[in-house]
Amino acid sequence: MHLVGTQVIPEQGGRSGFTVEFVGEGGEIVSVSMRNDASRSINRLNAVERAKAVMLELAHADAPDSSDADVERNVKAARTARAAKDAAEMERQLDQGLEDTFPASDPVSVTGSTIASDHRKKH
């Protein structure tokens, strides 16, 4: 996988943790979700390094024998809402993201500072 981008997505404004998405040039996406602890030690600045450490740990972990048919039946690939074209889930994620970033995501309202008055001059 040739890495072309990395996205850090905060969960509940980073309070719950972060999801780091590594994007490959062929459209591959590898997501690592990390929950924050009580001290909130994971932040936007160190989330990518922590995600890399998790993937490195996973790469060196003992994998079950792939010839075991029972293991293969139990392994299911989780697809993202975007890949599954799940509009309801994408809408839910959008709403959650907007709630997490409120009021920064609140659209600016047009306001005017004019005061109604009588246009006729009084003498």
pLDDT at residue 31, rounded to an integer: 92
Nearest-Å Rg of the Cα atoms of the chain is: 24
**Whole-number Cα distances in Å, 58 to 21, 30, 40, 53:** 16, 13, 23, 9
pLDDT at residue 43, rounded to an integer: 87
Which regions of the chain are under pLDDT 70? 63-79, 81, 101-113, 116-123
* Beta carbons within 8 Å of 53's beta carbon, 6+ residues apart: none
Q: What is the DSSP letter of 123?
A: -
pLDDT at residue 111, rounded to an integer: 66
pTM score above 0.75: no
